[in-house]
Amino acid sequence: MEARADRPLPRTPRGDVVSGETSQPRRWRVRVTEKCGGCGMCVMTAPLYFQLVDGYSQARHSEVEPDDAVLAAAELCPMSAIEVVDADTGAEVTPTP
């Protein structure tokens, strides 16, 4: 996120500029919904985060640190079956189809 020229940068009480990185969620909650068709695209895209079990995808971990590979898998999923939300706020991280 870029600071706008007409607004001062956010600062700590000591006066240090607050990095935009601090606003990033620390954990994502990942879930594969019942819409999964078992094509395996997510497993090929992000094998550290997804696996096929009985022909359908499952998230290997229910919570993960933010990683673009998870978003890539969610975006490539032809069934929009992968949900990614901020674990702290529940805000959706994946783009809506």
Q: Which residues contribute to the site for ligand SF4 (CB under 6 A)?
A: 32, 36-42, 57, 77-79, 81-82
Whichever of 88 and 92 has its CB closer to ligand SF4, that residue is 92
What is the radius of gyration, based on Cα positions, of the chain? 17
Rounded least distance, CB 80 to ligand SF4, Å: 8
Rounded least distance, CB 8 to ligand SF4, Å: 44
Residue 57 makes CB contacts below 8 A (sequence gap 6+) with 32, 36, 38, 40, 42, 43, 50, 51, 81, 82
What is the bridge-based pairing of β-strands 82-86 and 56-59? unpaired
Rounded least distance, CB 61 to ligand SF4, Å: 15
Whichever of 76 and 87 has its CB closer to ligand SF4, that residue is 76
